[in-house]
Amino acid sequence: MQLINISLSGIVRVKRKFVLALFLLFIIVLPVITGFSPGKRKPYKNYVLLVSLDAFRWDYPDLYNTPNLDILGNDGVRAERMISSFPTNTFPNHYSIATGLYPDHHGLISNSFPAPDLGLFYRIGDREAVENPDFYGGEPMWVTAEKQGVKAASFFWVGSEAPVGGMHPTYWKKYDESVGYGERIDTIVKWLGYPEQNRPELLTLYLDEPDATSHDFGPVSAETGEVVMRLDSLIGALRNKLSSLPYGDRINLIVISDHGMASVSPEKYINLKSLVPDRMIASISGGNPVYLINPAEGKADSLLLLINRASGVRAWRKSELPSKWHYGTHPRIPEIVVVADSSWSIGTRPSAFSNKGAHGYDNYNPDLFSIFYAAGPSFKKNYSFSELKNTDVYNLVCRILNIKPAANDGNRKNIRKLLR
Protein backbone atom coordinates (compact mmCIF):
# COMPACT_ATOMS: atom_id res chain seq x y z
CA MET A 1 0.00 0.00 0.00
CA GLN A 2 2.88 2.31 0.78
CA LEU A 3 4.38 1.66 -2.67
CA ILE A 4 1.09 2.47 -4.39
CA ASN A 5 0.84 5.82 -2.58
CA ILE A 6 4.34 6.77 -3.65
CA SER A 7 3.60 5.86 -7.25
CA LEU A 8 0.40 7.90 -7.35
CA SER A 9 2.09 10.99 -5.92
CA GLY A 10 4.85 10.63 -8.48
CA ILE A 11 2.33 10.45 -11.28
CA VAL A 12 0.65 13.63 -10.00
CA ARG A 13 4.04 15.43 -9.94
CA VAL A 14 4.75 14.32 -13.51
CA LYS A 15 1.35 15.54 -14.68
CA ARG A 16 1.87 18.91 -13.03
CA LYS A 17 5.25 19.30 -14.73
CA PHE A 18 3.72 18.32 -18.08
CA VAL A 19 0.90 20.89 -17.72
CA LEU A 20 3.41 23.57 -16.69
CA ALA A 21 5.60 22.77 -19.70
CA LEU A 22 2.60 23.00 -22.04
CA PHE A 23 1.63 26.35 -20.51
CA LEU A 24 5.13 27.77 -20.94
CA LEU A 25 5.22 26.53 -24.53
CA PHE A 26 1.87 28.22 -25.17
CA ILE A 27 3.14 31.54 -23.80
CA ILE A 28 6.23 31.34 -26.04
CA VAL A 29 4.48 30.21 -29.20
CA LEU A 30 1.30 32.32 -28.98
CA PRO A 31 2.95 35.63 -30.01
CA VAL A 32 4.48 33.89 -33.02
CA ILE A 33 1.15 32.42 -34.10
CA THR A 34 -0.96 35.54 -33.53
CA GLY A 35 1.64 38.23 -34.22
CA PHE A 36 0.74 39.85 -30.90
CA SER A 37 2.76 40.36 -27.76
CA PRO A 38 1.45 42.42 -24.84
CA GLY A 39 3.02 45.86 -24.83
CA LYS A 40 4.71 45.37 -28.20
CA ARG A 41 3.74 46.22 -31.78
CA LYS A 42 2.88 43.46 -34.22
CA PRO A 43 5.86 42.01 -36.13
CA TYR A 44 4.17 42.91 -39.44
CA LYS A 45 3.11 46.44 -40.30
CA ASN A 46 -0.38 47.71 -40.93
CA TYR A 47 -0.56 50.94 -42.91
CA VAL A 48 -3.26 53.59 -42.70
CA LEU A 49 -4.00 56.11 -45.45
CA LEU A 50 -6.62 58.66 -44.35
CA VAL A 51 -8.12 60.67 -47.23
CA SER A 52 -10.45 63.64 -46.77
CA LEU A 53 -12.76 65.00 -49.48
CA ASP A 54 -13.77 68.45 -48.26
CA ALA A 55 -17.56 68.86 -47.88
CA PHE A 56 -18.41 65.52 -49.50
CA ARG A 57 -21.97 65.14 -48.22
CA TRP A 58 -23.20 61.78 -46.93
CA ASP A 59 -25.81 61.36 -49.67
CA TYR A 60 -23.68 62.29 -52.69
CA PRO A 61 -23.20 58.58 -53.54
CA ASP A 62 -27.01 58.38 -53.82
CA LEU A 63 -27.32 61.60 -55.82
CA TYR A 64 -24.40 61.03 -58.18
CA ASN A 65 -22.52 58.16 -59.82
CA THR A 66 -19.75 56.95 -57.49
CA PRO A 67 -18.84 53.39 -58.53
CA ASN A 68 -15.42 53.42 -56.85
CA LEU A 69 -16.77 54.46 -53.47
CA ASP A 70 -19.46 51.81 -53.87
CA ILE A 71 -16.77 49.17 -54.47
CA LEU A 72 -14.75 50.48 -51.52
CA GLY A 73 -17.80 50.05 -49.28
CA ASN A 74 -18.42 46.53 -50.60
CA ASP A 75 -14.78 45.60 -50.03
CA GLY A 76 -14.82 46.96 -46.50
CA VAL A 77 -17.11 49.04 -44.31
CA ARG A 78 -19.38 52.01 -44.88
CA ALA A 79 -21.28 54.31 -42.53
CA GLU A 80 -24.63 55.68 -43.63
CA ARG A 81 -23.44 58.94 -42.12
CA MET A 82 -20.61 60.36 -40.07
CA ILE A 83 -21.49 63.06 -37.53
CA SER A 84 -19.24 66.11 -37.74
CA SER A 85 -18.37 68.31 -34.78
CA PHE A 86 -19.90 71.74 -34.21
CA PRO A 87 -19.30 74.15 -35.85
CA THR A 88 -19.35 72.18 -39.09
CA ASN A 89 -16.44 74.02 -40.65
CA THR A 90 -13.25 72.75 -42.27
CA PHE A 91 -10.52 73.59 -39.79
CA PRO A 92 -12.30 72.64 -36.56
CA ASN A 93 -13.43 69.31 -38.00
CA HIS A 94 -10.19 68.26 -39.63
CA TYR A 95 -8.43 68.86 -36.35
CA SER A 96 -11.17 66.98 -34.46
CA ILE A 97 -10.59 64.03 -36.77
CA ALA A 98 -6.84 64.28 -36.14
CA THR A 99 -7.12 64.49 -32.33
CA GLY A 100 -10.41 62.83 -31.39
CA LEU A 101 -11.32 66.02 -29.52
CA TYR A 102 -14.26 68.38 -29.94
CA PRO A 103 -13.30 71.91 -31.08
CA ASP A 104 -14.28 73.10 -27.61
CA HIS A 105 -11.47 70.95 -26.23
CA HIS A 106 -8.71 71.32 -28.85
CA GLY A 107 -9.09 75.09 -29.21
CA LEU A 108 -9.57 75.44 -32.97
CA ILE A 109 -13.08 76.76 -32.34
CA SER A 110 -13.77 78.09 -35.86
CA ASN A 111 -12.07 78.87 -39.16
CA SER A 112 -11.21 82.29 -37.75
CA PHE A 113 -11.38 83.53 -34.16
CA PRO A 114 -9.65 85.72 -31.57
CA ALA A 115 -7.52 83.89 -29.02
CA PRO A 116 -7.40 86.12 -25.94
CA ASP A 117 -5.27 83.52 -24.15
CA LEU A 118 -2.54 84.20 -26.71
CA GLY A 119 -3.33 87.81 -27.55
CA LEU A 120 -3.54 86.70 -31.20
CA PHE A 121 -6.10 86.13 -33.96
CA TYR A 122 -6.39 82.92 -35.98
CA ARG A 123 -7.24 83.05 -39.69
CA ILE A 124 -7.03 80.09 -42.04
CA GLY A 125 -5.21 82.19 -44.63
CA ASP A 126 -2.64 83.58 -42.18
CA ARG A 127 0.53 81.50 -42.55
CA GLU A 128 2.01 82.70 -39.27
CA ALA A 129 -1.13 81.71 -37.35
CA VAL A 130 -1.55 78.38 -39.16
CA GLU A 131 2.04 77.42 -38.33
CA ASN A 132 1.87 78.55 -34.68
CA PRO A 133 1.58 75.44 -32.43
CA ASP A 134 0.13 77.50 -29.57
CA PHE A 135 -3.25 77.52 -31.31
CA TYR A 136 -3.48 73.71 -31.40
CA GLY A 137 -4.45 71.74 -28.32
CA GLY A 138 -4.62 67.99 -28.00
CA GLU A 139 -2.36 65.47 -29.69
CA PRO A 140 -2.89 64.83 -33.43
CA MET A 141 -2.54 61.26 -34.64
CA TRP A 142 0.77 61.88 -36.40
CA VAL A 143 2.32 63.10 -33.14
CA THR A 144 0.91 60.09 -31.29
CA ALA A 145 2.45 57.86 -33.97
CA GLU A 146 5.85 59.56 -34.10
CA LYS A 147 6.16 59.48 -30.29
CA GLN A 148 5.79 55.70 -30.44
CA GLY A 149 8.24 55.09 -33.26
CA VAL A 150 5.74 55.04 -36.13
CA LYS A 151 6.64 57.29 -39.05
CA ALA A 152 3.85 59.55 -40.34
CA ALA A 153 3.34 61.62 -43.49
CA SER A 154 0.86 64.34 -44.37
CA PHE A 155 0.08 65.80 -47.76
CA PHE A 156 -1.98 68.64 -46.30
CA TRP A 157 -3.99 68.33 -43.09
CA VAL A 158 -5.02 70.97 -40.61
CA GLY A 159 -2.39 71.18 -37.88
CA SER A 160 0.32 69.26 -39.71
CA GLU A 161 2.15 72.48 -40.65
CA ALA A 162 2.64 73.44 -36.99
CA PRO A 163 5.10 71.66 -34.68
CA VAL A 164 2.38 70.56 -32.25
CA GLY A 165 4.09 69.19 -29.16
CA GLY A 166 7.34 70.14 -30.87
CA MET A 167 6.79 67.61 -33.66
CA HIS A 168 5.86 67.45 -37.33
CA PRO A 169 5.12 64.28 -39.26
CA THR A 170 8.32 62.82 -40.73
CA TYR A 171 7.09 63.94 -44.17
CA TRP A 172 4.76 66.91 -44.62
CA LYS A 173 3.84 69.71 -47.00
CA LYS A 174 2.87 73.34 -46.65
CA TYR A 175 -0.60 73.86 -48.03
CA ASP A 176 -0.67 74.92 -51.66
CA GLU A 177 -4.03 74.56 -53.40
CA SER A 178 -2.36 74.85 -56.81
CA VAL A 179 -0.81 71.37 -56.39
CA GLY A 180 -2.87 69.03 -58.54
CA TYR A 181 -4.67 66.01 -57.15
CA GLY A 182 -2.66 63.65 -59.33
CA GLU A 183 0.59 64.98 -57.88
CA ARG A 184 -0.76 64.61 -54.36
CA ILE A 185 -1.71 60.99 -54.98
CA ASP A 186 1.59 60.18 -56.70
CA THR A 187 3.52 61.63 -53.76
CA ILE A 188 1.56 59.48 -51.30
CA VAL A 189 2.37 56.39 -53.40
CA LYS A 190 6.03 57.47 -53.60
CA TRP A 191 6.23 57.76 -49.80
CA LEU A 192 4.70 54.31 -49.47
CA GLY A 193 7.34 53.03 -51.87
CA TYR A 194 10.24 54.07 -49.66
CA PRO A 195 12.45 51.36 -48.10
CA GLU A 196 10.86 49.94 -44.99
CA GLN A 197 13.05 51.84 -42.55
CA ASN A 198 11.98 55.16 -44.13
CA ARG A 199 8.41 54.25 -45.04
CA PRO A 200 5.54 55.99 -43.21
CA GLU A 201 2.85 53.77 -41.72
CA LEU A 202 0.34 56.60 -41.20
CA LEU A 203 -0.46 58.96 -44.06
CA THR A 204 -3.05 61.73 -44.47
CA LEU A 205 -4.19 63.28 -47.73
CA TYR A 206 -6.51 66.27 -48.16
CA LEU A 207 -8.45 67.18 -51.31
CA ASP A 208 -10.23 70.55 -51.20
CA GLU A 209 -13.23 69.60 -53.34
CA PRO A 210 -16.21 69.35 -53.68
CA ASP A 211 -16.31 72.20 -51.14
CA ALA A 212 -15.57 75.13 -53.45
CA THR A 213 -17.87 73.94 -56.24
CA SER A 214 -20.80 73.18 -53.95
CA HIS A 215 -20.42 76.61 -52.31
CA ASP A 216 -20.70 78.26 -55.70
CA PHE A 217 -23.38 76.11 -57.31
CA GLY A 218 -25.08 74.36 -54.42
CA PRO A 219 -24.83 70.75 -53.23
CA VAL A 220 -27.46 69.54 -55.69
CA SER A 221 -26.21 70.80 -59.06
CA ALA A 222 -24.70 69.50 -62.27
CA GLU A 223 -21.41 71.20 -61.42
CA THR A 224 -21.14 69.54 -58.01
CA GLY A 225 -22.12 66.20 -59.53
CA GLU A 226 -19.31 66.49 -62.07
CA VAL A 227 -16.72 67.15 -59.35
CA VAL A 228 -18.05 64.34 -57.17
CA MET A 229 -17.68 61.87 -60.04
CA ARG A 230 -14.16 63.13 -60.73
CA LEU A 231 -13.20 62.61 -57.09
CA ASP A 232 -14.67 59.13 -57.22
CA SER A 233 -12.50 58.29 -60.21
CA LEU A 234 -9.45 59.55 -58.29
CA ILE A 235 -10.27 57.18 -55.44
CA GLY A 236 -10.34 54.36 -58.00
CA ALA A 237 -6.97 55.42 -59.42
CA LEU A 238 -5.52 55.67 -55.91
CA ARG A 239 -6.67 52.15 -55.03
CA ASN A 240 -5.12 50.78 -58.23
CA LYS A 241 -1.79 52.40 -57.40
CA LEU A 242 -1.89 51.11 -53.83
CA SER A 243 -2.68 47.57 -54.98
CA SER A 244 0.41 47.59 -57.20
CA LEU A 245 2.69 47.95 -54.17
CA PRO A 246 4.27 44.68 -52.93
CA TYR A 247 2.50 45.07 -49.58
CA GLY A 248 -0.66 46.70 -50.90
CA ASP A 249 -2.75 44.12 -49.07
CA ARG A 250 -1.53 45.60 -45.76
CA ILE A 251 -2.81 49.12 -46.49
CA ASN A 252 -6.01 50.28 -44.81
CA LEU A 253 -7.63 53.04 -46.87
CA ILE A 254 -10.08 55.30 -45.04
CA VAL A 255 -12.04 57.89 -47.06
CA ILE A 256 -13.94 60.53 -45.10
CA SER A 257 -15.14 64.11 -45.27
CA ASP A 258 -15.11 66.88 -42.70
CA HIS A 259 -18.74 67.99 -43.10
CA GLY A 260 -21.58 68.17 -45.58
CA MET A 261 -23.19 71.13 -47.35
CA ALA A 262 -26.59 72.85 -47.14
CA SER A 263 -28.40 74.76 -49.87
CA VAL A 264 -28.91 78.46 -49.18
CA SER A 265 -30.96 81.16 -50.86
CA PRO A 266 -30.33 84.93 -51.16
CA GLU A 267 -33.94 85.43 -50.06
CA LYS A 268 -33.04 83.99 -46.65
CA TYR A 269 -30.31 86.41 -45.60
CA ILE A 270 -29.99 88.42 -42.39
CA ASN A 271 -27.64 91.33 -41.86
CA LEU A 272 -26.75 91.17 -38.17
CA LYS A 273 -25.79 94.83 -38.20
CA SER A 274 -29.39 95.65 -39.10
CA LEU A 275 -30.57 93.87 -35.95
CA VAL A 276 -27.99 95.11 -33.46
CA PRO A 277 -26.40 98.59 -33.35
CA ASP A 278 -22.61 98.69 -33.40
CA ARG A 279 -22.49 100.28 -29.93
CA MET A 280 -23.72 96.98 -28.44
CA ILE A 281 -20.85 94.96 -29.96
CA ALA A 282 -17.33 95.03 -28.54
CA SER A 283 -16.03 92.52 -31.10
CA ILE A 284 -17.43 90.11 -33.67
CA SER A 285 -15.74 87.32 -35.64
CA GLY A 286 -16.67 84.30 -37.69
CA GLY A 287 -18.66 83.93 -40.88
CA ASN A 288 -21.88 82.52 -42.20
CA PRO A 289 -23.60 80.72 -40.50
CA VAL A 290 -21.81 81.12 -37.13
CA TYR A 291 -20.70 84.39 -35.54
CA LEU A 292 -18.95 84.87 -32.21
CA ILE A 293 -19.72 88.12 -30.37
CA ASN A 294 -18.31 89.85 -27.32
CA PRO A 295 -21.06 92.30 -26.33
CA ALA A 296 -20.31 95.77 -25.04
CA GLU A 297 -20.41 96.01 -21.26
CA GLY A 298 -23.92 95.54 -19.95
CA LYS A 299 -25.40 94.89 -23.40
CA ALA A 300 -25.55 91.08 -23.49
CA ASP A 301 -29.22 90.78 -22.58
CA SER A 302 -30.29 93.45 -25.05
CA LEU A 303 -28.20 91.90 -27.82
CA LEU A 304 -29.73 88.46 -27.23
CA LEU A 305 -33.23 89.93 -27.22
CA LEU A 306 -32.76 91.82 -30.49
CA ILE A 307 -31.25 88.89 -32.39
CA ASN A 308 -33.74 86.31 -31.11
CA ARG A 309 -36.69 88.44 -32.21
CA ALA A 310 -35.69 87.81 -35.84
CA SER A 311 -36.64 84.72 -37.86
CA GLY A 312 -33.95 82.45 -39.27
CA VAL A 313 -31.32 83.04 -36.58
CA ARG A 314 -30.71 82.23 -32.93
CA ALA A 315 -28.28 83.61 -30.32
CA TRP A 316 -27.16 81.96 -27.07
CA ARG A 317 -24.94 82.71 -24.15
CA LYS A 318 -22.01 80.33 -24.41
CA SER A 319 -23.06 78.65 -21.16
CA GLU A 320 -26.53 77.89 -22.56
CA LEU A 321 -25.67 76.35 -25.93
CA PRO A 322 -27.28 72.97 -26.79
CA SER A 323 -25.40 70.22 -24.94
CA LYS A 324 -25.26 68.05 -28.09
CA TRP A 325 -22.81 70.54 -29.61
CA HIS A 326 -20.16 70.04 -26.87
CA TYR A 327 -19.31 73.71 -27.33
CA GLY A 328 -19.04 76.70 -25.05
CA THR A 329 -16.42 76.05 -22.35
CA HIS A 330 -13.21 77.04 -24.12
CA PRO A 331 -11.92 80.52 -23.12
CA ARG A 332 -11.56 81.44 -26.80
CA ILE A 333 -15.33 81.26 -27.28
CA PRO A 334 -16.78 84.70 -26.51
CA GLU A 335 -19.93 85.38 -24.51
CA ILE A 336 -22.48 85.19 -27.35
CA VAL A 337 -22.71 82.57 -30.12
CA VAL A 338 -25.01 83.29 -33.08
CA VAL A 339 -26.10 80.51 -35.46
CA ALA A 340 -28.31 80.74 -38.55
CA ASP A 341 -31.16 78.30 -39.03
CA SER A 342 -30.86 75.70 -41.76
CA SER A 343 -30.87 77.23 -45.29
CA TRP A 344 -30.52 80.76 -43.87
CA SER A 345 -27.44 82.97 -44.16
CA ILE A 346 -26.17 85.65 -41.80
CA GLY A 347 -23.52 88.29 -42.26
CA THR A 348 -22.43 91.82 -41.38
CA ARG A 349 -23.05 93.52 -44.72
CA PRO A 350 -26.25 94.78 -46.35
CA SER A 351 -26.32 92.49 -49.38
CA ALA A 352 -26.79 88.71 -49.46
CA PHE A 353 -24.07 86.26 -50.40
CA SER A 354 -23.94 84.90 -53.93
CA ASN A 355 -23.10 81.39 -52.66
CA LYS A 356 -25.68 78.65 -53.11
CA GLY A 357 -24.18 76.33 -50.51
CA ALA A 358 -22.93 76.77 -46.94
CA HIS A 359 -21.83 74.75 -43.93
CA GLY A 360 -21.18 75.44 -40.25
CA TYR A 361 -24.73 74.74 -39.09
CA ASP A 362 -25.98 72.35 -36.41
CA ASN A 363 -23.97 69.15 -36.82
CA TYR A 364 -27.17 67.08 -36.46
CA ASN A 365 -28.69 68.75 -39.51
CA PRO A 366 -28.71 65.90 -42.09
CA ASP A 367 -27.33 68.20 -44.79
CA LEU A 368 -24.14 68.44 -42.72
CA PHE A 369 -23.54 64.70 -42.32
CA SER A 370 -20.29 63.48 -43.87
CA ILE A 371 -18.98 60.17 -45.28
CA PHE A 372 -16.97 57.27 -43.93
CA TYR A 373 -15.67 54.41 -46.11
CA ALA A 374 -12.82 52.06 -45.27
CA ALA A 375 -11.28 48.85 -46.58
CA GLY A 376 -8.15 46.88 -45.80
CA PRO A 377 -6.86 43.99 -43.72
CA SER A 378 -8.13 45.46 -40.44
CA PHE A 379 -11.73 45.97 -41.55
CA LYS A 380 -14.70 43.69 -42.00
CA LYS A 381 -15.91 43.09 -45.54
CA ASN A 382 -19.18 44.34 -47.01
CA TYR A 383 -20.33 45.74 -43.67
CA SER A 384 -22.68 48.73 -43.40
CA PHE A 385 -23.60 50.50 -40.20
CA SER A 386 -25.66 53.54 -39.36
CA GLU A 387 -23.43 56.12 -37.73
CA LEU A 388 -19.96 57.11 -36.57
CA LYS A 389 -18.76 60.33 -34.94
CA ASN A 390 -15.70 61.97 -36.40
CA THR A 391 -14.12 62.09 -32.93
CA ASP A 392 -13.93 58.26 -33.15
CA VAL A 393 -11.55 58.24 -36.13
CA TYR A 394 -8.50 59.00 -33.98
CA ASN A 395 -9.02 55.92 -31.81
CA LEU A 396 -9.66 53.82 -34.91
CA VAL A 397 -6.33 54.79 -36.47
CA CYS A 398 -4.48 54.18 -33.21
CA ARG A 399 -6.09 50.76 -32.87
CA ILE A 400 -5.07 49.71 -36.38
CA LEU A 401 -1.49 50.91 -35.88
CA ASN A 402 -1.40 49.33 -32.42
CA ILE A 403 -0.31 52.55 -30.73
CA LYS A 404 -1.62 54.01 -27.48
CA PRO A 405 -4.01 56.94 -28.01
CA ALA A 406 -3.78 60.18 -26.06
CA ALA A 407 -6.78 61.38 -24.06
CA ASN A 408 -9.69 62.15 -26.41
CA ASP A 409 -13.46 62.49 -26.68
CA GLY A 410 -14.02 59.39 -28.80
CA ASN A 411 -15.66 56.18 -27.62
CA ARG A 412 -13.64 53.06 -28.38
CA LYS A 413 -16.80 50.92 -28.29
CA ASN A 414 -17.95 52.65 -31.47
CA ILE A 415 -15.08 51.28 -33.56
CA ARG A 416 -15.14 47.63 -32.47
CA LYS A 417 -17.95 46.74 -34.86
CA LEU A 418 -15.88 47.88 -37.86
CA LEU A 419 -12.84 45.72 -37.25
CA ARG A 420 -12.17 42.06 -37.93
The catalytic residue positions are 90
Q: What angle do CA 414, 393, 52 make, to 5 degrees?
A: 140
- b/e sequence 90-127, b meaning 16+ C-beta within 10 Å: bbbbbbbbbbbbbbbbbbbbbbbbbbeeeeeebeeeee
For residues 152 and 165, give the distance between their C-alpha atoms in angstroms, rounded to a whole number: 15
Single out the residue of 420, 375, 368 nearest to residue 390, CA to CA: 368
Q: Is 139 left (phi over 0), alpha (psi -120 to 50) or beta?
A: beta
For residues 378 and 253, give the distance between their C-alpha atoms in angstroms, rounded to a whole number: 10
Q: How many CA atoms lie within 13 A of 93 on its CB side?
A: 30
Query: What residue type is assigned to position 114 of the chain?
Result: P
CB 352 within 8 A of CB 377: no
For residues 411 and 393, give the distance between their C-alpha atoms in angstroms, rounded to a whole number: 10
DSSP 141-156: HHHHHHHTT--EEEES
Main-chain dihedrals φ then ψ at residue 405, nearest 5 degrees: -75, 155
